[in-house]
Structure 1
Amino acid sequence: MEAESGTVIYEKNADAKMKPASVTKVMTLLLVFQAIENKQYTLEDIVTVSEHAASMGGSQCFFEANEQQTVEDMIKCIIIASGNDAAVAMAEFTSGSEEAFVADMNNKARELGMENTTFKNACGLDADGHETTARDIAIMSRKLITRYPDIFNYTSIWTDTIIHKTRRGEKEFGLVNTNKFLRQYQGATGLKTGYTSTAHYCISATANRNGVKLIAVVMGADTKENRNTDAAKLLDYGFARCYAYTDKKILQKNDIKVLNGDREYVKITSVSDFNAVLLNGEKAEDVKKELVLYDDELKAPLKKGDCIGYVKYTVGDRTIGMVAVNTGEAVGEKTYMYGMQTMFEHIIRK
């Protein structure tokens, strides 16, 4: 999947329901970062580990009940060490209980259009009915990395440490990234691996080359090596068929006529350069752009920075993006004196 547009470049059995193992934590992290964005808590806030969270098996960071860690250290434990105990602790911290958090996970899945996903826990341990698809994993992975690109500050960490703070004192605990793909594939940026004896080896792999960002999902591989090989093949296939397109000269003209204004034209500006990804043989010379105004005619008064429309980019029938267009200056309403002046100038010119 191309991350910016969500376009699927290649798929095979993309809607087959399978167990996702710790790739589940992509949704857990999405809800955690959403809570931070909504100012529910901060990276510095303190999380207390419950007995339930501390009891999680599988991959873990060996937290004790009542141990406390910051939200940021919990995020590191989830991403780097794939800690089930950390994932459940954050679920409880976010929604009050793991059960309530799982309901939030499933609601978010419906919101994102993940039609074949049901979560039963926050960490990915095998459970009856806990299942998803490669397509749905790609959808939630895309949402996480495009909405919260700061996630890459954590997924790119190879090793780190936390300090266990328990009744027996403080002890350093090392975190080593479970995602070995990071060091095996040029441009790899994340995202999450998973394994259980039932789910086998899974990965949602993200990579970035020359401005193109891709997501590759592999589920149910027999070995780590096969999982990573398949992910690399998918990404290679995608990068061979995608390339970045940039337009720095958005506007073909830099002013527009204004009605009833104290000047006849207003300067217009684009808010940014335009960047997109062309897919499967699309060529730069085939890109078309069109200035679309929200109103058929601009009327004064106008403030500097008013959004008056956008430039739409298309390739064939596919819209590849838009850039907003603003006024570059203020325009006041035409006054009686301005009207007399322009009329007089018109007479003089004649």
Structure 2
Amino acid sequence: MLHNTFCRRLAALVLTLAVALSAALPGFAAYPMPVQTATETESVYLFNADTGKTILSQNADQQKYVASLTKLMTALLLVESGKDLNGEVTVPTDLTQEFKDIQNANGTTMGLRIGETVRRIDLLNAMLIVSANDAASVIAWDVGGSVVGFVQQMNAKAAELGCTGTNFTCAHGLFDYGNVSTAQDLAKIAAACAENQTFAQVAGTASYVLPATNLRKAERTISSSNSLMNSESANYREYVQWVKGGFTTLAGRCIVAFAQQDGHSYGLVILGCDTLEHLFTECDDLFDWAFASFADRPLVDTQTVLTTVDLNKCRTEPSVELYAAAPVSGYGHSDDKVSYSFDLPESVSATVKEGQKLGTATVYLDGYEVGQVDLVTHREYVSDFRTDIKATLLLLCALILILCALGFATLRCGGGLTLNQRRRQMKRRR
């Protein structure tokens, strides 16, 4: 019994350490790349946006130029700043040189002018839908007090989110040198963006009407050129929620995209792709693979023994078999392994009732916690005391019956002898 208890405790310790290690290292069990990327230097990071679990990872921790994906952080700081998005900002003369630098770099703009008054929500839409670099610079000046001050906020926020390979030098990403991140870091930034309802709504908008301003008398419509969200494109996917792309000569084609289907969400980062066509095709292939390869599936039923507990005061049974009180399902790949950790007493004493709860099990799928379930018995385990009492009572009953039978036989035999003796006595008297 002591040996069994020691083995069981050792197994439980090993399981607990394994689960703790897997939880501490999310993404260690990434899956093989299902599609061929353009080059070996391309960075790809696909993750489950609901759990944070890494699904695919290639060069995900390598620093790369990230072009306009920089604007994700700019947008995040704006929507988290508490500033009134319907409030207006006047473009200051402080940005004169900034606007010239953007123009010299052939950067995309929304055509802002010094002295023009625009709403923050219009700046946010222009920055995310058409990647307007001038809008990013105005947001930086408005939120940070200056472009330099805002860049400091960007790097502080990146560190707060756990980014270790990120360094921002501008608010828009048009200027490459020193403005770097990793696919893994961008996933953290994108996940924080996705949690903000305003960001998700704006980033998922295909077109937007910019109203007239003090320097522009007519409204105008801006539209995204992103094929993943264009219903007329072969790359269109209905499940794509929002996309932010980027490009510079050094950065290559870059993208961050979020998709949701049947209540499950994925985030995807690709850096350093060679062509725009391949970038969109790769996004489609990876999202299609994810939604086809992962599904809800049963993990625990109520008819399979999950574990046992040592049983005392019962000679006929060394342990109690425990079952899940309810079925447990989880979302994962067909190759994902199911594991458990248990909260159980070291032992129990009989009698144990049928259906009695004796502990709980935490269910993990590929090292990620799925849920908890009560552990119950499926039958009664009777104590030695009850068994012995029953056996004793049966023995006593048997003894009583035997004694009664013997007594009855004795009486019958004793009574017949006396009658014969009387008859002999009567004959002698005659």
Normalization by structure 2: what TM-score?
Answer: 0.57
- Secondary structure of residue in 1 paired with 2:180: coil
User: What's the CA shift for 1:163?
Assistant: 2.5
**Which of 45, 48, 52 does residue 87 from structure 2 map onto?**
45
Tell me what 1:330 maps to. none
Distance in 2 (alpha carbons) for counterparts of 1:108 and 1:276:
33
Tell me what 2:199 maps to. 151
User: What's the CA shift for 1:150?
Assistant: 3.3
Tell me what 1:14 maps to. 60
Distance in 1 (alpha carbons) for counterparts of 2:334 and 2:137:
41
Between Structure 1 and Structure 2, how many residues are aligned? Answer: 272
User: Contact (CA 8 Å) 2:66, 2:246: kept in 1 or not?
Assistant: yes
User: What's the CA shift for 1:177?
Assistant: 1.1
User: What's the CA shift for 1:315?
Assistant: 3.2
Rate the CA distance shift 1:71–1:218 in 2: closer, same or farther, 3 A: same
**Which of 232, 247, 253 does residue 195 from structure 1 map onto?**
247
Tell me what 2:118 maps to. 69
**Which of 228, 238, 241 does residue 181 from structure 1 map onto?**
228
Q: How does 1:1-350 map to 2 (within 5 A)?
A: 1-35=47-81, 39=82, 41-51=83-93, 52=95, 54-55=99-100, 56-57=102-103, 58-145=107-194, 147-167=195-215, 169-183=216-230, 184-243=236-295, 277-279=331-333, 281-282=335-336, 314-315=364-365, 317-320=367-370
- Secondary structure of residue in 2 paired with 1:170: coil
Rate the CA distance shift 1:9–1:316 in 2: closer, same or farther, 3 A: closer
User: What's the CA shift for 1:233?
Assistant: 2.0
User: Contact (CA 8 Å) 2:242, 2:258: kept in 1 or not?
Assistant: yes
User: Contact (CA 8 Å) 1:200, 1:219: kept in 2 or not?
Assistant: yes
User: What's the CA shift for 1:61?
Assistant: 0.1
User: Contact (CA 8 Å) 1:116, 1:136: kept in 2 or not?
Assistant: yes
Rate the CA distance shift 1:171–1:222 in 2: closer, same or farther, 3 A: same
User: What's the CA shift for 1:117?
Assistant: 0.9
Distance in 1 (alpha carbons) for counterparts of 2:124 and 2:184:
25
The one-letter code matched in structure 1 to 2:72 is V
User: What's the CA shift for 1:80?
Assistant: 0.9
Distance in 2 (alpha carbons) for counterparts of 1:21 and 1:154:
20
Contiguous gaps of at least 5 residues in structure 1? 247-273, 292-310, 323-350
- Secondary structure of residue in 1 paired with 2:65: coil
Deviations 1:85-133 (A, max 9, x none): 1111111111101111111111111111111111000001123211111
Distance in 1 (alpha carbons) for counterparts of 2:330 and 2:121:
32
Distance in 1 (alpha carbons) for counterparts of 2:90 and 2:259:
34
The one-letter code matched in structure 1 to 2:80 is Q
Distance in 1 (alpha carbons) for counterparts of 2:160 and 2:246:
24
The one-letter code matched in structure 1 to 2:292 is A
Distance in 1 (alpha carbons) for counterparts of 2:331 and 2:89:
40
User: Contact (CA 8 Å) 2:193, 2:200: kept in 1 or not?
Assistant: no
User: What's the CA shift for 1:314?
Assistant: 3.4
What's the C-alpha RMSD, in Å, of the aligned pairs? 3.0
Identical-residue share of aligned pairs (%): 27
The one-letter code matched in structure 1 to 2:228 is F
Rate the CA distance shift 1:62–1:7 in 2: closer, same or farther, 3 A: same
Normalization by structure 1: what TM-score?
Answer: 0.70
Pick the structure with greater CA Rg.
2
The one-letter code matched in structure 2 to 1:186 is E
- Secondary structure of residue in 2 paired with 1:11: strand
Deviations 1:159-207 (A, max 9, x none): 222124244x512232111322223223111120001122121100111
Distance in 2 (alpha carbons) for counterparts of 1:141 and 1:154:
14
User: Contact (CA 8 Å) 2:68, 2:173: kept in 1 or not?
Assistant: yes
Rate the CA distance shift 1:245–1:139 in 2: closer, same or farther, 3 A: farther
Q: Which has the higher helix share?
A: 2
User: Contact (CA 8 Å) 2:176, 2:251: kept in 1 or not?
Assistant: no
